[in-house]
Chain A
Amino acid sequence: MTTAELARPYTPSVTTRARRFVKRYRFEIVLISPLFLYVFGTTLVPVLSSIILGFQDPPRGGGFPSLASYLLVIEDYQFVSAFTNTLVVTFASVSMELVLGLIVAMMMARSFRGRGIFRAIMLLPLGIPVVVAASNMRYIFLSSGYLNEALIDLNLLAQPIDWLKAPLALFTVAASDMWKVTPLVMLILLAGLESIPTELYEAAEVDGAGAWQRFRNITLPLLRPAITSAVVIRGIDAFRIFAHPMGLGVGRTVPVLSTFGYYEYQRVYYSTSAATSTILLVMILVAVVLYIRLAGTEEITG
């Protein structure tokens, strides 16, 4: 036996390793199986059958493989606007939530009188059902709603604006989503803020760094892992946004991919609905991969 062979560390074959793993975790595997079988069975199987259904003939399948459903969908002017609306709403809502969430998290990180009440009020939207949150936005954004009324009373506006008509409605949908989930983004960012050691700020202050410099050079870089997880978690949800446009009553007039897919299903066009959901899935995957590439992988695990 040569020294080189001796020096090589002992690496058991895949099957022995698997057998050892099963032996060691036998009890755990039994306990985990129902959970994982259910979760994966009820997601992978439907998603795969949706993908397959999308490549069949409209309206209800058959004739696999066929691109007819995709062609039908792409020719639909509603689909084109649903596609761009989804991108715009996702971008607008995630960036608005991030900015407002960061502002509120930084407010929360300060100690001031009434902080406990402030915290309780800021978490209020978490306790409001999504559909209720969206339908509440109607009283504010209807053309006879409170926002127009306030703007007219403040002499900022002469004529009421229709906030529920495209393209402004995209902002309204994003604002509705923002109201509901900013507390969640705020909690994620607050956890990140609290993990930044205060000594860093004290040292920077001693060195004469201003508030903006401290924010720019300490807070933002050290908050990047928290920001990345907030963007990924929120971004995935924002792409699939459904309840907000429905609750605002603009599901049909201002379609996003989820509502478009729903109305296709409702008029018994199953294959085009499936094709829409597959397009949405690809969009989400591409966006997540792109974002993780741009933001750096080590931050996901951090």
Chain B
Amino acid sequence: MSVVSGADRQKRRGFNWRKLGSGVGFGLLVLVVVAMTVAPVYFMVSLSVMDPSEFFRPHPAYFPTKITTQWWERVLNSETLYPAFMKSLVVATVTMVIAVVISVPGAYAISRMAPNIKYLLILSLFFTRMYPEIGIALPVAVLFLRLGLYESIIGLVFAHLILVLPVCAWILVGAFETIPRDLEEAASVDGASRLNTLWRVVMPLAAPGVSVAAIFSWLLSWDEVTYARFLTLLHPTLPIQLLDIIGRSGPTVVATWATIVTIPVVIVTYLMQKWLRADYLAGAVKG
């Protein structure tokens, strides 16, 4: 027979040099991609503890040998850190709570609609993402300046909800879809009202998905810069404080601020791992 499949041919050849070659190539590729991903975060942390003797020279050290806490001390003692940190914390937490309260009923209802209506509703929520944020932030900022809500926490929460609500609802629709409708039908046969069913039957089952949506909402608000930049000046949030520092301080101080902005995110993301199941996001991605 002259017809030999590729797999058979490979088996006959004995030691497979080509496979080794592609294995080494693959390993190198993994190393390059990992290095690209890790390097910026590594430099941030290493600069934040780098001794001046290793920093103030033509080129800062790749690997610090002497460690100092002086940048951390300087930043932790800075007057602007605490108010900015608290403002971000309060805004993100309030945004999270309101986003969940508004999104849970909405997302539940969307998940119980006919498929074509459901699709249309989710898509229409996401169409709002096409609008440039600066076009939304400008009238909101002008209005808040007039109402005296400029720099206020309420103002920021109001603006952050614009960004957070569609995402929060989207994740929740995915979470509610994993809960079978049979349970609700059984409850309604037993005479429970629909609101009662939602509260007592669906919500306990959806709790992990609601946690994921809540944490995503918190993270989105914590990270947000465009609205915060438009709506604050003298009393910024933590990310805006970092933006203000960038032009004014050296890389070691900036790196320390950046690490402080990141730490809560790391803690919160770590907490989320517990609840994060692939199917919530998968359902959400399928939309």
Chain A proximity of B110: nearest CB distance (Å): 7
Across-interface contacts of A191 in B (CB, < 8 A) = 282, 285
In the complex, which residues 123-153 of chain B have their Cβ closer than 8 Å to any Cβ of chain A? 124-125, 128-142
B169 interfacial contact with A, CB 8 Å: yes
How would residues 239 to 260 of chain A score, 1 for a CB under 8 Å from any chain B CB and 0 otherwise?
A: 1101100110100000001100
What is the CA–CA distance of A131 and B166 in the complex, to the nearest angstrom? 22
Interchain CB contact under 8 A, B39 and A140 = yes
Interchain CB contact under 8 A, A112 and B26 = yes
The interface size of chain B toward A, counting residues with CB under 8 Å, comes to: 79
A137 interfacial contact with B, CB 8 Å: yes
* A-contacting 9-mer, from B29-37, B65-73, B76-84, B205-213: B29-37
- From B109, B110, B285, contact of A27 by CB (8 A): B109
Interchain CB contact under 8 A, B165 and A129 = no
Across-interface contacts of A27 in B (CB, < 8 A) = 109, 194
Across-interface contacts of B255 in A (CB, < 8 A) = 136, 139
- From A31, A47, A125, A301, contact of B109 by CB (8 A): A31
B44 interfacial contact with A, CB 8 Å: yes
What is the CA–CA distance of A137 and B19 in the complex, to the nearest angstrom? 37
- From A34, A140, A243, contact of B40 by CB (8 A): A140
What is the CA–CA distance of A35 and B26 in the complex, to the nearest angstrom? 47
- Contact flag A261-B134 (CB < 8 Å), given A131-B261, A136-B40, A136-B44: yes
- From B136, B251, B261, contact of A138 by CB (8 A): B251
Interchain CB contact under 8 A, A39 and B47 = no
Interchain CB contact under 8 A, B37 and A129 = no
B85 interfacial contact with A, CB 8 Å: no
Across-interface contacts of A38 in B (CB, < 8 A) = 102, 161-162, 165
Across-interface contacts of B60 in A (CB, < 8 A) = 139, 144, 146, 149
* B-contacting 9-mer, from A67-75, A166-174, A280-288: A280-288
How would residues 48 to 63 of chain A score, 1 for a CB under 8 Å from any chain B CB and 0 otherwise?
A: 0111010000000000
A277 interfacial contact with B, CB 8 Å: yes
- Contact flag A146-B134 (CB < 8 Å), given A28-B113, A32-B110, A121-B37: no
What is the CA–CA distance of A118 and B156 in the complex, to the nearest angstrom? 37
What is the CA–CA distance of A243 and B230 in the complex, to the nearest angstrom? 12
Chain A proximity of B12: nearest CB distance (Å): 15
Across-interface contacts of A130 in B (CB, < 8 A) = 223, 225, 239
B258 interfacial contact with A, CB 8 Å: yes
A163 interfacial contact with B, CB 8 Å: no
Across-interface contacts of A16 in B (CB, < 8 A) = none
A-B contact pairs, 25 of them (CB 8 A): A32-B110, A35-B105, A39-B165, A43-B128, A46-B135, A51-B135, A104-B33, A122-B37, A131-B258, A132-B262, A135-B258, A146-B43, A179-B40, A187-B285, A191-B282, A191-B285, A240-B133, A240-B134, A242-B225, A243-B225, A247-B242, A261-B138, A273-B138, A280-B135, A281-B130
Query: Interface of B with A (CB < 8 Å)?
Result: 5-7, 26, 29-30, 33-34, 36-41, 43-44, 47, 58-60, 62, 102-103, 105-110, 112-113, 119, 121, 124-125, 128-142, 158, 161-162, 165-166, 169, 194, 222-223, 225-226, 229-230, 239, 242-243, 246-247, 251, 254-255, 258, 261-262, 265-266, 269, 282, 285
Query: Interface of A with B (CB < 8 Å)?
Result: 25, 27-29, 31-32, 34-36, 38-40, 42-43, 45-47, 49-51, 53, 100, 103-104, 107, 110, 112, 114, 118, 121-122, 124-125, 127-133, 135-140, 142, 144, 146, 149, 179, 187-188, 191, 205-206, 208, 236-237, 239-240, 242-243, 246-247, 249, 257-258, 261-262, 265, 270, 273-274, 276-278, 280-281, 284-285, 288, 301
